[in-house]
Amino acid sequence: MTQNLIKQLDLEDFLRTFESFLARPKDLFLQGDSKIHLRYIQALESVLFTPPKSIQNLDSALALLKKFGYLKLDEIFEFVKIIRYFHYFKSLKCEGILGEWLNQIIIPEAILEISKSFLENGNLKEGIYLELDSINAGMERTKREISQVLSQILNQNKLNSYLVDRQIHLINDEECLLLKAGFHHILKGQILNRSATGFFYVLPQSIANLKDKYNELNNKKEEQLFNISREISSTFTKHFLFLNFINKEFDRLDNYQARLFFARSYDLEFLTPKTSDSSIILNEFRHPALKNPKSITLAFKEQVLMITGVNAGGKTMLLKSILSAVFLSKHLIPLPINAHKSSIGNFKHLNLILEDPQNSKNDISTFGGRMLQFSQILREKEGIIGIDEIELGTDSDEAASLFKVLLENLMQKGNKIIITTHHKRLAALMAGDSRVQLLAALFDEEREMPTFKFLSGTIGKSYAFETALRYGIPKSLINEAKILYGEDKEKLNTLIENSSRLEMKLQNEISKAEEKSAHLEQKIIHLQDKELELEKAFLKSKNELESAYAEAINAAKKAIKEQSPQNIHRQISLANKLLNEARNTNHQEPQNQQETRVFAINERIKYRNHRGIILNLNKNKALIQLEDGIKLQVSTKEIKHYGNLPTPPQTKIQIQTPQNANVVLDLHGLRADEAIEKLEEFISNSLIAGFDEVLIYHGIGTGRLSSIVRDFLKSHPKVVDFTDAPAKMGGFGAKIVKL
């Protein structure tokens, strides 16, 4: 079933490439929580290691050990390769969950010693099995003797006249000489064969004796190797449970490393299914089977997605793409997608009804086969089902009613369904259901070509006549077909499509108008508050001036009553001083008021020669956003109210490049509010400095700081894109940000 689904989704080549990263073939599915598996893969990303070499399947070897059987030396070496790889990995001193997992794997000393007995090519090391070493040494001596004797025979002068050539020939794995007739007077030997020209391939008797000696030694070696294999197999049987365990753990580690190196090699991302939400949000997904594909960005939040529209417009490929993303996510296979902006629900099963089910051998019609397929999936619950060309094989009006009932039955069982169809009748019946989401493949009428783009919320036209023309059907025949089809139906289709587009446009306009109205209402409230503040300030200034002038007048009156000239002058001076202070206070009042007035969130302000609004206030600091989108953290002393009070003549101020600007920011150990403040300042300084790419370290930890950084970067208007950094630059613990 899985292999057939992979073929239907056009994922065979993609998964074959993934499997090339495995040390040995295995099932795609990882048992357990995929989120936990992803944590191990993320931990593995920060480790510099070499992937394992190819290893054979050891299920039959383990079954033999369980029955107290003996393994061959090459089978033993396959276990040795696994033991050595785990020993190598443990030596890397991994930390975190990876280190905890590896520390739980304790290799028995006896097994470790056996692994030390082998060379890298699978042969046994010298100095461990002395009798075997002696036999090997004897075989090497015998081989040298054979070479020496052959050389001596070739150099005999009396044999020269019988030699056809001075080469050593190999016949039936035996070294021999090519001689002319009559050689037996000079050399004793066995004739192994004759050449096409009538000469004799001769094995000298002395060489034959040495070969017998060599074969005898080789038999002893085989016997010795069997004894060694039997001894090691006995030790393996005692540690059968460990070997069975380490074999499974190797498959787990192999799965992790293969997924990691596959993702690195092809710039892919991991996306784990969400158990709490069945929505499918795809952002920049590209089906692996397509060359230079258009990326898919889609939000499938309802229970049914009905894809209609132009023939050959990409409906089937869109269906395959959605199901491919679900399949790859389910099996934790990295995929070409923007994972940070995507999410996929967790489904108990995945079914695809794709091909024409007609079968002449079983006397099944197209429609009969389609009904058989439906009867098999009607039992499914809480899964995702794809149905391509749902209307195959029967009358459209009858089929529309039947399929509506079948689809509602599947929806009641919690299934999520994707359909492609040309049935306007079925689409019209389903469109009124709030659980159904409509999507139409679009057609460029000027170019008479599909656009491979989709419009949400409308029923699309099939453009059958235009498609037929594009594929070579004569225009005269198409015109006849249009006459038979009728202008009324054509006009009705056009009206349906236009009304759907107008309705969508109207909804967008209403949404924008409501947003604008809410913004204007906030501005009116804000202006009313400012008017009250100004009125209070004016009354306060008026009262202070009246009080100051009254004091000055009283001082002047006292001067008139004084008899002494000295006292008169003193009182007049006091009155002048009070008047001057009142004038100065009145002159400085607007400036003082500007400095002491309270600012409010969303208030329009002026910062240097830039205009903007206040996003947040914290004591004497304000987070502001300028009209060009740049956010800055500034002192409230540096900003002024805009539009409410008279503003002094502007002086042109050039924003200087920050002297401490840096392309790297490290947020390790910071609290959430500290991290946000640092991020605001860092991004603003980077923009002013002209940087177009920066690096932010946030670490992995609990994931809290990573989530805060990701949410901030998503919302910032000047952040073009961001991705996880390569392993050598921080991996999942860092972000490369494009500005």
pLDDT tens for residues 115-149? 999 999 999 999 999 999 999 999 999 999 998 99
Burial 67-102 (b: 16+ CB within 10 A, else e): eeebbebebbbbbbbbbbbbeebeeeebeeebeebb
SS3 category, 409: helix
> Are 378 and 415 spatial neighbours (Cβ–Cβ below 8 Å)?
no
Token representation of residue 699: 């670490």
For residues 111 and 126, give the distance between their C-alpha atoms in angstroms, rounded to a whole number.
18
Quote the tokens at residue 602.
């969303």
CA-based end-to-end distance of the chain: 46
| Cα–Cα distance for residue pair 427/309, rounded to 1 Å | 11
The pair of structure tokens assigned to 446 is 């000027």
Beta pairing, strands 174-179 & 189-194: unpaired
Q: What is the pLDDT of residue 589?
A: 45
Nearest to 207 by CA among 249, 251, 242, 176: 176
- Using CA atoms, how far apart are residues 64 and 84, in angstroms rounded to an integer? 22
Angle at 278 between CA 272 and CA 279, to 5 degrees: 90
Q: Using the 8-state DSSP alphabet, how is residue 638 labeled?
A: G
Under a CB-based contact definition with an 8 Å cutoff, are residues 291 and 349 in contact? no
Helix axes 34-45, 240-266, angle to 10 degrees: 70
Backbone angles phi, psi at 116, to 5 degrees: -80, -10
CA distance 728 to 738: 19
Which segments of the chain have a pLDDT < 50?
A: 358-363, 589-596, 645-655
DSSP annotation of 438 reads: E
Asked if 613 contacts 603 with a C-beta cutoff of 8 angstroms, the reply is: yes
**Would you call 165 exposed, middle or buried from its count of C-beta atoms within 10 A (0-12, 13-18, 19+)?**
exposed
CB 175 within 8 A of CB 207: yes
Distance CA 344, CA 330 (A): 9
CB neighbours of 690 closer than 8 A, spacing ≥ 6?
A: 657
User: Residue 269 has what DSSP assignment?
Assistant: B
Closest CA to 602 of 520, 515, 708, 687: 520
Question: What secondary structure does DSSP assign to 188-220, as a single string?
Answer: -EEEEEE-TTS-EEEEEHHHHHHHHHHHHHHHH
List 598's β-bridge partners, or say none: none
Exposed/middle/buried for residue 733 (C-beta within 10 Å: 0-12, 13-18, 19+): buried
What distance in Å separates the CA atoms of residue 99 and residue 685, rounded to the nearest whole number? 39
Residue pLDDT, tens place only, 281-328: 999 999 998 888 888 899 999 999 988 876 666 788 899 999 999 999
Whole-number Cα distances in Å, 342 to 296, 299, 314 = 11, 9, 21
Residue 348 buriedness (CB in 10 A; 0-12 / 13-18 / 19+): exposed
Using CA atoms, how far apart are residues 61 and 233, in angstroms rounded to an integer?
10
Long-range contact list for 463-470, CB < 8 A, 24+ apart? Answer: 463/309, 463/310, 463/311, 464/311, 466/310, 467/310, 467/311, 467/312
Q: What is the pLDDT of residue 661?
A: 63
636, two tokens? 């409230």
Residues 194, 200: Cα–Cα separation, whole Å:
5
CA-angle at 730, arms to 728 and 731, nearest 5°:
90
β-pairing, 304-309 vs 416-420, is: parallel
